[in-house]
Amino acid sequence: MKSATPLNIINLIEEKILDLSSLIEEMQSSDNQSLFFKHSNEAKQKINQINLDFHSLRQSIDYTKNEKETAKENLSEQELLNQALSLAKTGLWQIDFKKNTVKLSSQLLELLGRSAMDEETDLTSWLELLHIDDRERVRAEFNNFIRRRKKVFDSTFRLKKKTKDWVWIKCIGQSHYAKKSDNLPSLIFGIAYSVHSEKTIDLEKDRLISELKKSNFAAEETALEIIEMYQELAESGKHYIEMNQKKDELISILSVELQSSILGFLSLSNLIYQEYHNFSKDEIKDAFKEINISSKNLFDFLENVLLWTQIQNKKIDYKPNFFYLKDIINESLILFSNVIQNKELSIENKVDEKIVVFVDYDMINSLFRNLISNAIKFSKKHAKIILNNKAIEAKSSFVELAIKDQGIGIDGKAKKYIFSFNKKVIRRGCDNEVGSGLGLVLCKEFIKYHKGKIRFKSKKNEGTTFYFTLPLVRI
């Protein structure tokens, strides 16, 4: 059999059916009893072979179906990634030294006001888009990056847009060598995003300082107005710097998560491709189960990235309404029923079923998903997770909830950055799952929208409890 595809198996079955038909004709025309008995045994053998081929055909069809479903999931993840990159106003680029070409993503083309026709161009033409005052500096930085085999290329420069205007770009990349002995990398790839606003503020600040130095400070009121304007610009610049730092941290976390997931997909799919004929049906099913779990985790992570970028760009709608709190929690728990069963965990939802809260459903549903997911991820087999509420005080307008696990706890270093981005603190769950911390950053943002508070207590190897408050409705 050349390849275990449905078409090849069907052709083989047709050939065996023709052989069987010929054998049956010989049996019908034969008067010799021993010859008839011999042909009868041969016919039985061919029928058994055809049954085996039908079984192989069924497996091949199941495998093809799973491949299509996996491809569909991956396409959905790619669309979500594109949306996240678009909202973050970040593009991708790649330099291919073998082809001497530069390839830009649609997000970067849009930033430069260029069409899909400019997606791939030669390296010389692309370098001509650099501002003449930046060209030599960037060329030197680029050559230094290659010559010294630095891990990261990091540069800021101006590029010409289609409209002939100039835009300041922050460019970060990494190199890939086909062989360690190669002098030149085969590929350099990375991300790029606009820092035009920050640069414009810096240039305006320098201009104002220069004007202040040249003036004689004759008019005190005018000087005070200029200083006040400078302070406003400095505050605005500080805000942009903070946003840029958050964006850099997010991009770093995104790179780690994507690299980890994609390497996992590649490793498992390559193993199936190379050793397909040696796998049983159950082994193939288990492999696809692993791919499905990894795909779901990656999908959830990208959904968190999308939510975070929407919050930062103030594009998320806050629509609070009245809900029974326990109903929201139960709906979140349903999503984790399989993993709870696989880990043999005990979940106790002790929240009072009469409690009504005034919240945005999507935000609080996402908050519970992230906190419950964390409790499961960092809990060992047979552990217990408890959700309950603190007794409501007479005049309180908030209800305090607690989610307690008996997991591995949080160490001292991670506690400091638990509600903020930090690419140096990457936690791993009990089954070696990567925890980026983005979910807890989102939880803090969601609680802030509801004027509540969130905190935690944790002891290493004994577990963690997250406490948070939500607006209470008295009925």
Q: What percentage of the chain reaches a pLDDT higher than 90?
A: 20
User: Would residue 282 count as lying in a domain?
Assistant: no
Q: Give the pLDDT band (50/70/90) at residue 31.
A: low
pLDDT at position 163 is 86
Task: Determine which helix (DSSP H) or strand (DSSP E) holds 10, and give its type and residue range.
Answer: helix 6-29
- Nearest by Cα to 291 from 318, 322, 262: 262
Are residues 466 and 373 part of one domain? yes
pLDDT at position 1 is 43
Residues 6+ apart with CB under 8 A from 221: none
- pLDDT of 94 > 80? The answer is yes
Least trusted range by pLDDT, from 35-49, 99-113, 122-136: 35-49
- pLDDT of 241 > 70? The answer is no
Are residues 94 and 63 part of one domain? no
Are residues 112 and 37 part of one domain? no
Q: What percentage of the chain reaches a pLDDT higher than 70?
A: 63
pLDDT at position 256 is 54
Q: Give the pLDDT band (50/70/90) at residue 162.
A: confident
Quick one: average pLDDT of 259-285? 71
Highest mean pLDDT (candidates 60-64, 134-138, 190-194, 272-276)? 134-138
- Nearest by Cα to 345 from 378, 388, 293, 385: 385
46-57 tens-digit pLDDT: 666 665 665 666
Least trusted range by pLDDT, from 84-93, 129-138, 267-276: 84-93
Mean pLDDT of the chain: 77
Q: Considering its fold, how many domains does the chain have in total?
A: 3
Question: 150-164 b/e with 16+ CB inside 10 Å = b?
Answer: eeebebbbbbbeeee
pLDDT at position 250 is 57
User: Would residue 297 count as lying in a domain?
Assistant: no
Task: Pick the more confident residue, 426 or 418.
Answer: 418
Are residues 248 and 112 part of one domain? yes
Range of the domain at 17: 6-69
Are residues 136 and 233 part of one domain? yes
Least trusted range by pLDDT, from 214-218, 421-425, 443-447: 421-425
User: Would residue 144 count as lying in a domain?
Assistant: yes
311-332 tens-digit pLDDT: 776 767 888 999 999 999 998 8
Instruction: Measure the CA–CA gap between 303 and 81, rounded to whole angstroms.
Output: 9
**Structure-block tokens of residue 246:** 């958050």
CATH number of the structural domain spanning residue 53: 1.20.58
Are residues 102 and 41 part of one domain? no
Q: β-pairing, 356-360 with 320-324?
A: antiparallel
User: Would residue 104 count as lying in a domain?
Assistant: yes
441-454 tens-digit pLDDT: 888 989 999 999 99
- Number of Cβ atoms within 10 Å of the Cβ of 385: 22
User: Would residue 287 count as lying in a domain?
Assistant: no
397-408 tens-digit pLDDT: 999 999 999 988
CATH number of the structural domain spanning residue 184: 3.30.450.20
Are residues 56 and 96 part of one domain? no
Are residues 145 and 21 part of one domain? no
User: Would residue 98 count as lying in a domain?
Assistant: yes
pLDDT at position 2 is 46
Least trusted range by pLDDT, from 65-79, 142-156, 263-277: 65-79
- pLDDT of 251 > 70? The answer is no
Mark which of 236, 254, 272 sits at the end of a domain.
Answer: 254
Quick one: average pLDDT of 67-72? 58
Least trusted range by pLDDT, from 74-83, 235-244, 301-310: 74-83
Mark which of 254, 283, 307 sits at the end of a domain.
Answer: 254
pLDDT at position 343 is 86
CATH number of the structural domain spanning residue 332: 3.30.565.10
Highest mean pLDDT (candidates 81-95, 209-223, 270-284, 319-333)? 319-333
User: Would residue 286 count as lying in a domain?
Assistant: no
Are residues 464 and 394 part of one domain? yes
Are residues 97 and 18 part of one domain? no
Burial of 403 (0-12, 13-18, 19+ CB in 10 A): buried
How far, in Å, are 343, 458, 460 from residue 381 at the CA level? 5, 19, 17
Mark which of 221, 237, 254 sits at the end of a domain.
Answer: 254
Instruction: Measure the CA–CA gap between 159 and 192, rounded to whole angstroms.
Output: 11
Are residues 433 and 374 part of one domain? yes
1-14 tens-digit pLDDT: 445 565 565 666 66
Are residues 105 and 61 part of one domain? no
User: Would residue 296 count as lying in a domain?
Assistant: no
